[in-house]
Structure 1
Amino acid sequence: MGTSLDSVCVLSKLIQLDIEISAVFTRLSKPSGRGMKVNNSPIKDYVDNTNIDLFQYNSLINNKEAYRKLKNISPDLIIVADFGLIIPIEILRLPPLGCLNIHPSLLPKYRGPSPVPFALLNEKKFTGVTIMLMDEGLDTGPIVTQKNVEFLCQENAGSLTQRLFQLGASLISDILFSWENGQIKAIPQNECNATYTNKLSKEDGRIDWSHSAIEINKKILAYTPWPGAFTYWKGKRIKIIEAELCHTSSRGNYSNGFVFQLDNKLHVMTGEGSLILNKIQLEGKKIILVKEFIQGYNDFTHAKLG
């Protein structure tokens, strides 16, 4: 069960290992964008090029058809990777080996829908991935295995999520035989250490330039690609796609959010230190290097962002 490109990574790994895949369940494709075009999920596009049966649903709650199909398939094990739908207890109880979920955090920390952004915002050096035996709760099931993953320099949520699911796919393949033969026992999570994340909104990405450059840089990394870290200039939204910390003193007399040039780089003043802008995206435009952007908008230098 999965939907995203990260789910494709897991499925392709299982196929490479010659593991029999009876079927794939995914979310129903929805219209999106200005033209309200129906775009297939990455896993649907992938499965359409295989001989694997694919089933799409908006919800599994009280869904008799989905339950009946799963019961007829009679899977030994269900593997869940970035599915995006609640799986009811009657489905969780169907496979004799249970439902294993790949969760991109070191549970019980960062349960919920946004574990990678929250880890990037709050942790200094590492996060991890957990294989969990699913129960009725929100990421509360016992832990089958997990592994630490160190942050790479300037790694954003998109690339880190991809790495975590790639590792999760490897962990699943490593433990499948032992799990099937009862050689691994899942360990209950320590509820005292549990933390939760919430679903991000677009407004979460708005930058407050009174915060330190370190905090803002973390926010840019944590909220890329979604919802994106952004600010406003002349009433238009600008996404900060890529930035870096300035390691020299550059306070001057500049106010927070003021754009200035130093050593051939474009800086924005923050509450503590300055942030160097590398790539940005003006509302309605494509992502562009800052040095190219200021050729068309030379008044951006000495602008005030807010």
Structure 2
Amino acid sequence: MRIIFMGTPESAAKVLDNLISSQHEILCVVTQPDRPKGRGQKITSSPVKELALKHALPIEQPEKVKSNPVFFSLLKSLNPDIIIVVAYGKILPKEILDLPKFGCVNIHASLLPKYRGAAPIQWTLLNGEKETGLTIMKLNEGLDTGDIIKQEKVFIDEDDTTPVLTEKLFKRADNLLHKALVEIESGKAKFIKQNDSEASYASLITKELGEIDWKKSALEIHNRIRAMVPWPVAQTYYKEKLLKIWGSKIHVLDLVGGSNLPGTIVEIVKNIGFIVATGNGHLLITEVQAEGKKRMPAYNFVIGHDVKIAETLPN
């Protein structure tokens, strides 16, 4: 098929890479404009653009896709059979949705109608779900409300972080997309309406979502820590300085002599890290990042900052 590909992050680049090596023809790659990134705010291309450049594919980076007649005319002139969208970052207008012979399809990282929206993987982890999956759907004008073409379930391990679960999901994307494209082209695809009554939404992740409340349960805090990797990263304070928490494990601890206030450091675990009391249970902190420093094993932080039992992390 003649394909226009729209996507931006690394997960989208992996899908594009497999399409490039398939029998399909990539007419054009559309991705977000180059943006400032990192501490130095260096102008950086998206992973999708980098891959497209490597393969000398035509690239478009419109600031807007709605009310952009020049961009629409370009897409129309390419006469695509289908547009494939993977985490592009912009909502397509009806004129683009209706342009290709077979419409526009999207790979969404949840089992729709659950977790419609911008951050399905993070919210899946934040809510402690045991399973999720990939959905290939036909795009319409709604927010992830289009008809379902294919789905595949994926089980979640208790220590999966956002990058780990993203990789786990998108390992399945190529085979699922291949099946969907074959069925679409042959006219055998089934388009299943979503049940809106079962829908939930995964809003954009904000920096505030990284704030740890030690009065929550160990499980809730652990889920927040793994969901907030790699941004904004879960955070607390130690001696009034920001401390980012990159890794943790639920810890079963049999303490003698009563309970501790949430946020209290109750044990140092040699070569691993430190254990913190929560509103319900205990959490072993395994990887941290002190203010202005690089990520490090939590035990290195303990040694370097002379962390003591009974010190507290504020709520």
TM class, shorter-length: over 0.9
Assess, with a 3 A threshold, how the Cα gap between structure 1 residues 238 and 300 changes in structure 2: closer, same or farther: farther
Q: 2:32 aligns with which of 6, 27, 52?
A: 27
Matched, 1:62 2:67: yes
Alpha-carbon distance between aligned partners in 2 of 1:30 and 1:112, rounded to the nearest angstrom: 22
Can you list the C-alpha shifts for 1:178-229, whole angstroms capped at 9, x where unaligned?
A: 2111111211101111111211110111000001101111111122112211
TM-score, normalised on structure 2?
A: 0.93
Assess, with a 3 A threshold, how the Cα gap between structure 1 residues 301 and 284 changes in structure 2: closer, same or farther: farther
Corresponding position of 2:3 = none
Alpha-carbon distance between aligned partners in 2 of 1:17 and 1:54, rounded to the nearest angstrom: 19
Matched, 1:280 2:279: no
Alpha-carbon distance between aligned partners in 2 of 1:123 and 1:305, rounded to the nearest angstrom: 24
| Paired-residue identity, % | 39
Instruction: Answer 1 or 2: which has greater strand percent.
Output: 2
Q: 2:88 aligns with which of 83, 86, 95?
A: 83
Contact 1:157 1:222 in 2 (8 A): yes
Q: 2:265 aligns with which of 259, 267, 271?
A: 259
Can you list the C-alpha shifts for 1:155-181, whole angstroms capped at 9, x where unaligned?
A: 011211222223123210122122111
Corresponding position of 1:202 = 207
- The aligned amino acid for 1:20 is E
Worse-superposed segment, 119-128 or 212-221: 119-128
How far has the Cα of 1:300 moved from its partner? 5.5
- The aligned amino acid for 2:261 is S
Corresponding position of 1:296 = 304
Corresponding position of 2:170 = 165
Contact 2:136 2:180 in 1 (8 A): no
How far has the Cα of 1:41 moved from its partner? 0.7
Contact 1:250 1:273 in 2 (8 A): no
Assess, with a 3 A threshold, how the Cα gap between structure 1 residues 255 and 9 changes in structure 2: closer, same or farther: same
Q: How does 1:1-306 map to 2 (within 5 A)?
A: 1-250=6-255, 252-264=258-270, 265-299=273-307, 301-306=309-314
- Alignment root-mean-square deviation, CA: 1.5
Contact 2:269 2:275 in 1 (8 A): no
Can you list the C-alpha shifts for 1:252-286, whole angstroms capped at 9, x where unaligned?
A: 44221111325535101101111001100112110
